Structure 1
């Protein structure tokens, strides 16, 4: 069945790891626009130029630059809203193919732009629809297909590949707009790679279970683990029974509707607000300020090459994302967000204070401090914020030219305050989910005895600590489990024998409720 790795005693197929590269294209779409705005050929074609022989006189108005940069986010917003619905209807794989076709159309519209800035802008909107839909489906697909032993790392590799995409760019290739057309063309290549590659990947087993295709779901689980169904692998049996029980339980519940996200039952309103604030908070960290307008920002410093500064920021972002993957696996999700928010806030205060204290165009030391503080901010951002979305970035992208034109580097104080708020919000409201299956995360949020600040102590019944729980899973995988457990769910989500489904402590039954064979 190909190359197989073992993590905590559980087999993981190489195919599950390769899924991570599918998100590489996202970084190529949004962040390159920072460089485009300062490219001579791009300015000659799309900016306001009183004299084409004097490129220094070509400038984008705040409205035009804001629209070109931000309308990708508008498309992304609507794409994200419809992306999940399309994926539920067509399946994850088909949805990814459709979304990539939309993205490619948008890129073609951009590349074919000659002098009409609004054509490029329209292409950005169309591309945003594809990116938004993919940003909803790809992480969903990754989280559903990823073995739980590496789910956190694999889903966060989504961000690693985004940061790699940010590094792609060209310079000094002004003939026929090559310096901005080539990066767009590369994005289309990555999109084609994703669209074709996904055809050879397994469908999401969770979606297949929801469609009642149990045999297909079992084959998908086996492919993910790098084994055959006939091998009767314990981990595959365990996951199969857990998913099947959860789906059957959900089928007996009332059909979930969008309005249910805003009902207090099962703490759905709590989690909806939590997710909304966390996503909005990530947009307000200030990262998009640097990635969308970094070249323009550092051009105002005056003593450094703005393109080089942007590359430095991108390299720090990429390199520190590796650190972020380790931190998340070692320390969980909650505390890195808290500490990261405090770190980012501190360096943004330094950035804003330095920029407002003295004119960086006249003081080389201040200019250097601005770049250093920016890099240290990005270090904290890349190391502690595992998942990011662009869907809510429109307001930041559109209004940044107006705000910076009015208050300059003081804009950093706004982001510093937002990061401080993010840290406090994560402390008081975010639960620690590291090491838990998706089903058990749901149970933790509904446990009335657990609060966010002690959520790291929550475990399913039968374990003394989160560490013991994970160690117990490892021991069971080595032995293949010992006693079968009846998996039929009661209305409260527990099994009739009192065992909580998804606790993963007992051995699971084989396919269709049969006792697993012992070899």
Structure 2
């Protein structure tokens, strides 16, 4: 580094510290001269840059780690992440079976209305749509609460509280005697489910090293599919053996009690996210948490844990010092973070705007082609198995391609499939219906190989550390809002007594897929192989999306740190130890006022 530049930076940093000392500590100002403060500033600067060197070493170690090395050093991190993500199996189970209860004879006679035209009991379409939306409405509320609660109390506490709440709320569903009561139960249960949608992603991204991040975050998509597959099996059994008994519709709700107890036990035993502990200034607890997720000899574990804590601390301190206020939802829409929030939200919205809502209607087209209901159900099970296979394919693709390429070409493939499906809609033949249903099964594989799982990784990498939970909450709620819109529109598009588009609906979603493709190319950066600190630096430098992959950054290099200090006159070099970073930010803001 240029010597004159370094000396000028020391002088600049020293003057900043002198100014802060004058404002904050009047007594010290009276007793000490500025000449006494300059050596203190130099000591603080040397310590700060020394920590930066250690953080740079930790960043390099993480980037150079191989997959096998990551599995050898972090098997416990993998295990704890899998425990947290298992909560999504429960959510996938519920969202899959509720919409399929309407076809169960005992559910129809218990809660339905008699149709003179069809001479049968039916659940009114208004209730079918409404009950399907209740879960998402509850999740929107739960997600917003989760952002606040998780930042305050941590991932483990919020998730355990949510599971205990689910145990109680499930009684409403099991003993429901009206559709209104089921609707209330679904909304209330959706609130704790919302916490799983956010915190499972956050925890997976924060406890594992870079090399394992894609696998553990996209495993969440696998959990969703497993839950849906279990729901399909339960409903098949109820349809065959309990079709005319009250237990037929109560049993699927009762089985939801089997999830919380083992999940509570596993989450209670799991270590808290070390990133959250560092944000709260609880360094010793953070070090213990890192130690618990490592599987190495004692000496090597101590060295690596110290390196990791130093990097986390430097990343959090840098964000805290560069930020203008404490973390809040409003901060997600300010400055550099506004870009990150936009990307995270639109990435998740793209899942719904590329035709995924039609995946659940493959059996609809098979039935139109003459397939009986039982066989159509078998195809729905095949659909979930295909989705699971697609998720495994995604893990293979990530060894050869980055996040952007997987997502972008996934959208392209989905657009092509939607356009072909839409073209088949111009024929009324049974062959065209078979073709439309088959195209949706193919779509299912491509979706779960690309866009479906990769989104979970992208939305965990894009946000800054201090706003990660809040940004994921906003992104997931953007997803939920589009789910509600598409779930309402799709039946109107398909039904013959409404808009009667049939398979031509594929043209509509193919058009939105094309728009999503254009957005992804312009706005979505490549995040593969980047640590959280590197991503912070790339966004801080306002690098265009298509140049993220080729731009070299060293976030903890001394020159980078000095430039950050020179660009921020309020930069405080004093170490932040054993205290809440957000409280520190509040006190600094009050003093500046």
Normalising by structure 2, report the TM-score. Answer: 0.71
Give CA deviations for 1:266-306 in whole Å, capped at 9, x if unaligned: x2222222222222221223323433x56556544432532
Give ranges in structure 1 of 5+ residues lacking alignment: 463-483, 496-510, 513-519
Alignment of 1:388-407 (within 5 A): 389=476, 391-392=480-481, 393-405=483-495, 406=499, 407=501
Structure-2 residue corresponding to 1:7: 67
Give the distance between the partners of 1:295 and 1:59, measured in 2 at CA.
Answer: 20
Distance in 1 separating the partners of 2:559 and 2:294: 22
Instruction: Determine whether 1:256 maps to 2:327.
Output: yes
1:322 and 2:387 are equivalent in the alignment? no
The one of 541, 549, 559 aligned to 1:447:
541
Judge conservation of contact 2:291–2:301 (CA < 8 Å) in 1.
no
Residues 433-452 of structure 1 deviation map (CA, whole Å, 9 limit, x = unaligned): 1111112112122334x322
Query: Which residue of structure 2 lines up, in the alignment, with residue 38 of structure 1?
Result: 103
Aligned-partner Cα distance in 1 for 2:84–2:193: 13
* Structure 2 partner of 1:247: 316
Counterpart of 1:189 in structure 2 is: 258
Whole-Å separation in 1 of the counterparts to 2:134 and 2:149: 22
2:362–2:436 contact (8 Å) kept in structure 1: no
Equivalent positions of 1:281-292 (< 5 A) are 281-291=350-360
Equivalent residues in 2 for 1:195-206 (5 A)?
A: 195-206=264-275
Quote the residue 1:342 is aligned against: 412
8 Å CA contact retained: 1:106, 1:125: no
Higher radius of gyration, 1 or 2: 2
Say whether the 8 Å CA contact 2:362–2:438 is kept in structure 1: no
Cα deviations by residue, 1:293-338 (Å, 9 ceiling, x for unpaired) = 5655654443253212211211111111111122134311101111
User: 2:411 touches 2:517 (CA, 8 Å); kept in 1?
Assistant: yes
Q: 1-side partners of 2:330 and 2:557: how far apart? A: 36
Q: Which structure would you say has the larger RCO, counting Cα contacts within 8 Å and 6 or more residues apart?
A: 2
Q: Is the 8 A contact 2:362 2:441 kept in 1?
A: no
SS of residue matched to 2:73? strand
Q: How do 1:220-239 residues align onto structure 2 when only pairs under 5 Å count?
A: 220-227=289-296, 231-239=300-308
| 1:85-137 deviation line (CA, Å, top 9, x unaligned) | 111111110011112233334433222224x1121122211121121122111
Aligned counterpart, 1:370: 436
Q: Aligned to 1:49, what secondary structure does the other structure show?
A: strand
Structure 1 residues 56 and 125: alpha-carbon distance in aligned structure 2, compared to 1, 3 A threshold: farther
Number of aligned pairs?
Answer: 462
Indicate the residue corresponding to 1:161 in structure 2. Answer: 223
Q: TM-score, normalised by structure 1?
A: 0.81
Alpha-carbon shift at residue 212 of structure 1 (Å): 1.3
Q: 1:296 to 1:33 in 2, by over 3 A?
A: farther
Q: Please report how far the alpha carbon of residue 381 of structure 1 lies from its aligned counterpart in structure 2 after TM superposition.
A: 0.6
- Given the alignment, which residue of 177, 185, 201 partners 1:139? 201
State how far apart, in whole Å, the 2-side matches of 1:285 and 1:188 are: 35
CA contact (8 A) 2:114 2:120 kept: yes
Q: Which moved more, 1:247-256 or 1:485-494?
A: 485-494
Q: Deviations over 1:15-57 (max 9, x none)?
A: 2112224323232121223432222222222332247xx9972
Query: Residues 112, 445 of structure 1: CA spacing in aligned structure 2 closer, same or farther, 3 A cutoff?
Result: same
Unaligned runs of 5+ in 2: 1-64, 457-475, 568-576, 579-593
Alpha-carbon distance in 2 for matches of 1:89, 1:160:
29
Distance 1:345 1:355, change over 3 A: same
- Asked if the contact 1:65/1:401 (under 8 Å) is kept, the reply is no
Whether contact under 8 Å (2:554, 2:560) holds in the other structure is no
Match of 2:455 in 1: 387
Which residue in 2 is equivalent to 1:128? 190
8 Å contact from structure 1 (residues 147, 224) kept in 2: no
Q: 1:301 to 1:443 in 2, by over 3 A?
A: farther
Q: 1:123 to 1:493 in 2, by over 3 A?
A: farther
The whole-number CA distance in structure 2 between the counterparts of 1:46 and 1:285 is: 34
Kept in 2, the 8 Å contact 1:159–1:387? The answer is no
Task: Please tell me whether residue 90 in structure 1 is matched to residue 153 in structure 2.
Answer: yes
Per the alignment, in what secondary structure is the counterpart of residue 257 of structure 1?
Answer: coil
Name the residue aligned to 2:531. Answer: 437
Matched, 1:418 2:512: yes
Q: Distance in 1 between matches of 2:490 and 2:320?
A: 47
Tell me the residue number matched to 2:564: 492
Give me the whole-angstrom Cα distance separating, in 2, the residues matched to 1:39 and 1:352.
31
Matched residue SS, 1:176: coil
User: Conserved in 2, the CA contact under 8 Å of 1:285 and 1:418?
Assistant: yes
More helix per residue: 2
SS at match of 1:457: coil
SS in structure 2 at match of 1:150: helix
Note the aligned Cα RMSD (angstroms): 3.1
1:370–1:437: structure 2 CA closer, same or farther, 3 Å change rule?
same
Classify 1:297/1:125 alpha carbon distance in 2 versus 1 (closer, same or farther; 3 Å).
farther
In structure 2, relative to structure 1, the CA distance for the partners of 1:105 and 1:55 (3 Å cut) is farther
Contact 2:436 2:503 in 1 (8 A): no
For residues 100 and 288 of structure 1, the distance between their equivalents in structure 2, rounded to whole angstroms, comes to 28
Q: How far apart, CA to CA, are the structure 1 residues paired with 2:407 and 2:418?
A: 16
Q: Which shows bigger deviation, 384-393 or 346-355?
A: 384-393
CA–CA distance in structure 1, aligned partners of residues 369 and 187 of structure 2 = 31
